[in-house]
Structure 1
Amino acid sequence: MTSKKPNILFLMADQMAASALSFYGHKLVKTPNLDALAEESVIFDSAYCNSPLCAPSRYVLMTGQLPAKIGAFDNAADFPADIPTFAHYLRKQNYQTALSGKMHFCGPEQLHGFEDRLTTDIYPADYGWFPNWDDPDTRPTWYHNMSSVTQAGPCVRTNQLDFDDEVTFQAKRYLHDYARGNQERPFCLTVSLTHPHDPYAIPEQYWNLYKDEDIDLPEITIPKEEQDPHSLRLQDVFAFDEQPITEPQIRNARRAYYGAISYVDEKIGEVLKSLKDCGLDEDTIIVFSGDHGDMLGERNLWFKMSFFENSVRVPMLVHSPKRFSAKRVKESVSTMDLLPTFVDFATNSTPHDYAMPIQGRSLVPHLEGTGGHDEVIAEYFGEGTIAPLFMIRRGDYKYIHCPKDPDQLFNLKDDPKELHNLAGDSAYSAALAEFKQEALERWDSNALTEDVLVSQRRRRLVVSALNRGKKKPWDHQPVFDSAEMYMRNHIDLDDLEARSRFPKVD
């Protein structure tokens, strides 16, 4: 790598299944901007999130720590203010750190190292969206149901479109302001879109990029009597059996999802154009990834919350052609590895003196072709499970363990669709025993169960109390200094126009 500190542009999409992208082999979905980026990028073919749920996955991504270490149990878990994030580490290296879009921070701290947060979040900052392991048989009424599928189709407007249009506008404005400001500090700008997350609704211009007859239907159907216990609980969580789901509805949901991916691609294209127009593209490392995938009806499952591939696997690419030659990486890595990677970009050194031990591992050896790890450790404590759920992905194998459920072991090289659970095959008894022993040594399920229960009970009390009397929301409120925007009388007109125009005119 060069000695100059590069800018970092981190692009995120929400609930983006890697399998639905053309640079991972999908034959239908149209993503010209991402495809062009991928041609010059290092593409990670086996990248995963470390907890297939929005908030826990993002906390892990930002801290380089697994959920259990930082209490990132579910979508209403508090994100402790004293846990360093990549924004803290980069800011310490004199980076400008900015966030435009979703990061699903819960709790009164809403910056977590970002110097500027350009939008509010699309999701609430309070503790209201927690599961209840004390009452596992009661479905949480606040959780989305199959209406995301049954009502899928074209639309004129949604709150998600409102949000992502603003996210894109503010990201472009940030780049324009940076270019006009003759900045000496490098930037790390995170642009986090909420699409293609359900509900599956998208304007006709994106819907019409696809035709009904071209939409692929789910390849795998698992009858209820053959589902594993966690999948059965997930179906209860999103009320899968409350109404019949028709083939046209499934087709509509997938068509709208593909349209939403094309919308994301267009928004990313706008940001990349601003980066190039501002002359910042040559010295900016671009990273694209996501928080988790979407089952999209495979195995009769929707959304995420599962350790099956469509749910837990994410896209990941790194674009910096002058630093890293374009190639594909087959080893398994995770979004937990992004923090040490960003720190390496900023410091040009490995190892780094971290404030606390980091569980993620830098991707720079993969990027430079000098080696790298082949392992993903994942944890899940959210909706649909009644005890800690763990995953070890290493080599050809994926092992899933929960003290309440039968073990699962898959050879993804031979069985990429995860149809054959090898845990019951005597030929794999040694491999299973080895994974199981590792899980028992790595995790204390009883202690973690108690940690989750205590966390949920604390938050139930806090939510109940704060819902009485005056409400003081924690949601981030972006602040703009209107006195310094557009035309104002405290600055000479020629000076104002010269300051605002880019590129400058002699």
Structure 2
Amino acid sequence: MPSKPNILILMADQMSAPFLPFYAESPAQLPTLSRLADEGVLFNAAYSNSPLCGPARYTLQAGQLPSRTGAYDNACELTAMTPTMAHYLRLGGYRTVLAGKMHFVGPDQLHGFEERLTTDIYPADFGWTPDWTDFDHRPSWYHSMDSVLTAGPTRRTNQIDFDEEAVFATRRKLYDIVREDDGRPFFITLSLTHPHDPYACHESHWQRYDGVEIPMPRVPDQSDPHAQRLRHVCGQHLDTITDAQIRDARRAYFGSMSFVDDQFARVLETLEETGLRDDTIVIVCGDHGDMLGERGLWYKMNFHEGAARIPLIVHAPKRYAPRKIDACVSLVDLVPTLIELAGLTAEPATPLDGTSLVPHLENGSGHDEVIGEYMGEGVVAPMVMIRRGPWKFIHTPTDPDLLYNLADDPDELHNLAESADQSERMAALKAEVAVRWNFAEITQAVLASQSCRRLVGDANATGLRSPWDYQPRRDATQEYVRPHMDLEDLEAKARYPRVRS
């Protein structure tokens, strides 16, 4: 087995751990993911460090929290000088490839990846910049309840088109890699946009849940200030949502997860066909979750379990024995993990906020801590989270503190922040928060960033436009059969397995 294994990240968008059958009772039909969970190292308490697509993915890529990179929301640029997992592995001898969604904003659409097989599904400009100074205004690009109101089966969607293209391109790239054999191990990230809303799945996946009881939200509506802001952001006051629509939205979400499972199965089948499976570490993760109506909330943008807790599986049975890890870990831990898995010795160029998961993989021991930051839609000041052991502490200067013991209260129904029994714990947590974060400084940085991006975005949208959206490179003169190619040699090299040299 090579000292530097191939690494394949399979990422799903908005896939919430509490709704997966290997974490809790669930009707979700996910045979491929369930097999990977059974055979691999399953992390029971993995979290998004910032429960919004862009900041979560930048944290994944850079191994740094949003307050360090300035990647506060979905319209923030990850600077080109920020080292990413792809930079580290590329310097370490890996062939780095990205397919699907990564939500990169700005002119650098590669961030260390040598090859990007598809464009992104979302815009690369500053158009989705929030405005903390005008919270009451709801821009048209904010989440709305249309996803719930129109939930149900379909035959085609924008997201199906995108994900099927990403999967096809990834499978083809795996065949290219094994046929070309340039001597380097590969690092491929395939990132799908399902089961992210809108809650629409193909008829075939909808029918898989025919006759299946779809559970309704267990936790009633909450009235804390952040929940109220999120309902405003999503326009929940503008429509009346029926139980039937909630049930359809959840059924379509389960159907979309089954779609993801099918797509991942195709990629894993290709790994087998190419003979690359045994030498490849497969990592399954999400960027954040989805509330799906729990607490009266939808989508993400908060640190409750539905929105912040994600799947995380490391599948490499020939390297790591199957086990379940209860310690708290997060996306920010993946950069140091990949550096160690790849056997790289170079020191990171910038301080990393995560800790390698390799001790967990090797013997089940390791760190037990998640630090979270959120500065996107729905807040008007930084929101932070500390998750350690059974305890979760959520703080923002504008709201009452939240403290939960998830071992006793997994649904986060009982806020213990004002409990006399927890006064010492609360004092220690508040002191830790005061040391970790300067809220006034971060707030000013967020406001300045938003102001600059709105101006630049408006200017770039005026007159002749030069979009940053990634255009996949393709040269048709070098594809398939062309007159400058030796036909027999071409056909022999394209055939796998090779029949002659």
Q: TM-score with structure 2 length normalisation?
A: 0.98
Hey, what does 1:87 align to over in structure 2? 86
Q: Please show how residues 410-489 of structure 1 align to structure 2 within 5 Å.
A: 410-489=404-483
Hey, what does 1:399 align to over in structure 2? 393
Q: Please show how residues 106-117 of structure 1 align to structure 2 within 5 Å.
A: 106-117=105-116
Hey, what does 2:291 align to over in structure 1? 295
Instruction: Check whether the contact 1:3–1:348 (CA below 8 A) recurs between aligned residues.
Output: no
Secondary structure of the corresponding residue to residue 22 of structure 1: coil
Letter in 2 for 1:377: I
Give the number of equivalent residue pairs: 500
Letter in 2 for 1:55: G
* Aligned: 1:267 with 2:266: no
Letter in 2 for 1:437: A
Letter in 1 for 2:130: P
Q: TM-score with structure 1 length normalisation?
A: 0.97
Alpha-carbon separation, structure 1, partners of 2:265 and 2:130: 37
Could you tell me how far 1:141 is from its partner in structure 2?
2.2
Hey, what does 1:185 align to over in structure 2? 184
Hey, what does 1:377 align to over in structure 2? 371
Alpha-carbon separation, structure 2, partners of 1:400 and 1:494: 65
Secondary structure of the corresponding residue to residue 273 of structure 1: helix
Deviations 1:72-115 (A, max 9, x none): 11000111000100000000001000000000001111000000
Letter in 2 for 1:418: E
Alpha-carbon separation, structure 1, partners of 2:166 and 2:327: 33
Alpha-carbon separation, structure 1, partners of 2:58 and 2:491: 42
Structure 1 gaps of 5+ residues are none
Alpha-carbon separation, structure 1, partners of 2:48 and 2:71: 13
Secondary structure of the corresponding residue to residue 252 of structure 2: helix
Alpha-carbon separation, structure 1, partners of 2:278 and 2:350: 33
Deviations 1:26-61 (A, max 9, x none): 331111111122221000000001000000000000
Q: Please show how residues 84-233 of structure 1 align to structure 2 within 5 Å.
A: 84-211=83-210, 214-222=213-221, 226-233=222-229
Pairwise CA RMSD: 1.1
Instruction: Check whether the contact 1:100–1:167 (CA below 8 A) recurs between aligned residues.
Output: yes
Alpha-carbon separation, structure 1, partners of 2:49 and 2:265: 28
Could you tell me how far 1:211 is from its partner in structure 2?
2.6
Hey, what does 1:234 align to over in structure 2? 230
Alpha-carbon separation, structure 2, partners of 1:488 and 1:23: 50
Secondary structure of the corresponding residue to residue 390 of structure 1: strand
Hey, what does 2:342 align to over in structure 1? 346
Instruction: Check whether the contact 1:30–1:262 (CA below 8 A) recurs between aligned residues.
Output: yes
Secondary structure of the corresponding residue to residue 97 of structure 1: strand
Secondary structure of the corresponding residue to residue 22 of structure 2: helix
Instruction: Check whether the contact 2:6–2:281 (CA below 8 A) recurs between aligned residues.
Output: yes
From 210, 216, 241, give the equivalent of 1:245: 241
Could you tell me how far 1:130 is from its partner in structure 2?
1.4
Instruction: Check whether the contact 2:286–2:312 (CA below 8 A) recurs between aligned residues.
Output: yes
Deviations 1:118-138 (A, max 9, x none): 000000000111110111121
Could you tell me how far 1:370 is from its partner in structure 2?
6.0
Instruction: Check whether the contact 2:92–2:344 (CA below 8 A) recurs between aligned residues.
Output: no
Alpha-carbon separation, structure 2, partners of 1:313 and 1:409: 16
Alpha-carbon separation, structure 2, partners of 1:407 and 1:25: 28
Instruction: Check whether the contact 1:55–1:75 (CA below 8 A) recurs between aligned residues.
Output: yes
Letter in 2 for 1:197: H
* Aligned: 1:317 with 2:322: no
Change in Cα spacing, 1:69 to 1:348, as seen in structure 2 (3 Å) is closer
Could you tell me how far 1:348 is from its partner in structure 2?
5.9
Letter in 1 for 2:421: A
* Aligned: 1:500 with 2:494: yes
Instruction: Check whether the contact 2:3–2:343 (CA below 8 A) recurs between aligned residues.
Output: no
Letter in 2 for 1:125: A
Letter in 1 for 2:135: P
Could you tell me how far 1:466 is from its partner in structure 2?
1.0
Hey, what does 1:39 align to over in structure 2? 38
Deviates further, 428-437 or 277-286? 428-437
Could you tell me how far 1:21 is from its partner in structure 2?
1.4
Deviates further, 340-349 or 407-416? 340-349
Q: Please show how residues 15-54 of structure 1 align to structure 2 within 5 Å.
A: 15-54=14-53
Could you tell me how far 1:3 is from its partner in structure 2?
6.1
Could you tell me how far 1:484 is from its partner in structure 2?
1.8
Secondary structure of the corresponding residue to residue 159 of structure 2: helix
Instruction: Check whether the contact 1:212–1:251 (CA below 8 A) recurs between aligned residues.
Output: no
Deviations 1:269-317 (A, max 9, x none): 0000001100000100000001000000000000000100000000000
Alpha-carbon separation, structure 2, partners of 1:298 and 1:336: 26
Alpha-carbon separation, structure 2, partners of 1:448 and 1:144: 25
Alpha-carbon separation, structure 2, partners of 1:230 and 1:128: 24
Alpha-carbon separation, structure 1, partners of 2:274 and 2:281: 15
